């Protein structure tokens, strides 16, 4: 308890904690947000991490920090702490800077997919092969329901979704990807699918409007995966189903530049914790092991 209180009894460390309650950030991003030297930020991060206030996640050569380490005392006082954050001196500037960092992540992703839409299927399949997860994902899809696919890419999954669902809405933030998906639907004579332009964290759907949401190899491109899961919870009906397929944690650092990946896959425990925090229950995860040269895939369901 004393170690936790001591770590927070500093204006800069309290400010850092407040920022990291809004998401996961690297030292470089935190330096930009706070307008403070990197060595000073690193010193404060070390103190907070050692006290169990923060946790650090290594992704290749990058370290991402987040609030919520292994301190039971911090977990207990966190609700009261969050209530007082609005009164911090730099709060408005920090929130603006956080929003800018997340928007830059989204912009880089959108620009990449607009530029590579035509070649995306071959690019992803060739550079980062993974075992076939589609049949397992589709076997968990409820029949005859309304389905939204988020981050549909070139629409490769849409025909199969349309064949099993009453209605399908496809959402993507890249106009070029939507054009490719629209072309695919026309060529394959698929009907009953509506395509919409939108961000994963601001879906163009009303509250409780979909029976099922599908995220297929998308979450590792998200600027803020936890915010995406929270937004999906908003658009699902009570008892609605979420289906997720994504890469298991790997160490291929080059995918950040070559494939616009924000995250190097995920751990099962990490995804389960995010889903629980977003309000999902009945979470089930299956790992599909990759063969030689392939990355493993996690397939999750949650309601």
| Span 120-302 CATH architecture | 3-Layer(aba) Sandwich (3.40)
Q: Has residue 73 got a pLDDT over 90?
A: yes
Backbone phi, psi, residue 297, to 5°: -125, 140
The per-residue pLDDT for 139 is 95
Are the beta carbons of 155 and 170 closer than 8 angstroms? Answer: yes
Q: What is the pLDDT of residue 48?
A: 96
Residues of the chain with CATH 1.10.10.10: 2-89
Q: What is the mean pLDDT of residues 59-79?
A: 89
**CA–CA distance, 274 with 246 (Å, rounded to integer):** 14
The pLDDT assigned to 17 comes to: 94
- CATH tag, 2-89: 1.10.10.10
- Give the whole-angstrom CA distance, residue 147 versus residue 142: 9
pLDDT at 68: 86
Question: Strand, helix or coil at 47?
Answer: helix
85: which DSSP letter? G
Above pLDDT 70, what percent of the chain?
Answer: 100
As a whole number, mean pLDDT of residues 129-143 equals 93
- Residue 93 has a pLDDT of 94
8 Å CB contact between 162 and 190: yes
Judge whether residue 37 has pLDDT over 90: yes
The whole-angstrom separation of Cα 100 and Cα 64 is 17
Q: Label residue 264 by pLDDT band (50, 70, 90).
A: very high
Write down the pLDDT at residue 3. Answer: 92
Q: For residue 189, how many other CB atoms are within 10 A of its CB?
A: 7
* Interval 211-252: pLDDT, tens: 999 999 999 999 999 999 999 999 999 999 999 999 999 988
Residue-averaged pLDDT of the chain: 93
Q: Is a pLDDT exceeding 90 seen at residue 122?
A: no
Instruction: Provide the whole-model pTM.
Output: 0.85
Q: What are the backbone dihedrals phi and psi of residue 51, each rounded to the nearest 5 degrees, phi first?
A: -85, -5
Return residue ranges of the chain for CATH 3.40.50.150.
120-302
């Amino acid at each position: 308890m004393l170690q936790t209180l001591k770590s927070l009894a500093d204006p800069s460390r309290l400010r850092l904690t407040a920022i990291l309650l809004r998401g996961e950030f690297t030292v470089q991003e935190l330096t930009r947000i706070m307008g403070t030297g990197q060595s000073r930020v690193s010193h404060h991060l070390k103190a907070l991490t050692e006290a169990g206030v923060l946790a650090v996640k290594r992704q290749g050569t990058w370290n991402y920090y987040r609030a919520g380490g292994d301190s039971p005392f911090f977990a207990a006082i966190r609700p009261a702490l969050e209530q007082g954050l609005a009164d911090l001196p730099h709060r408005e500037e920090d929130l603006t800077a956080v929003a800018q960092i997340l928007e830059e992540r989204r912009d880089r992703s959108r620009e990449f997919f607009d530029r590579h839409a035509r070649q995306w299927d071959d690019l992803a399949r060739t550079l980062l092969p993974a075992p076939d997860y589609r049949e397992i994902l589709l076997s968990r899809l409820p029949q005859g329901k309304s389905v939204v696919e988020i981050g549909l890419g070139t629409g490769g999954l849409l025909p199969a979704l349309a064949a099993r669902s009453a209605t399908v809405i496809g959402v993507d933030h890249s106009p070029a990807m939507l054009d490719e998906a629209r072309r695919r639907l026309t060529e394959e004579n698929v009907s009953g699918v509506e395509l919409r332009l939108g961000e994963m964290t601001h879906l163009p759907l009303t509250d409780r409007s979909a029976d099922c949401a599908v995220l297929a190899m998308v979450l590792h491109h998200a600027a803020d995966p936890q915010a995406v899961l929270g937004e999906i919870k908003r658009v699902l009906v009570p008892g609605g189903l979420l289906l997720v397929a994504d890469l298991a944690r790997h160490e291929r650092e080059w995918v950040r530049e070559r494939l616009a990946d924000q995250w190097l896959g995920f751990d099962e425990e990490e995804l389960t914790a995010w889903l629980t925090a977003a309000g999902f229950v009945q979470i089930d995860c299956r790992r599909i092991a990759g063969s030689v040269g392939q990355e493993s895939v996690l397939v999750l369901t949650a309601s």
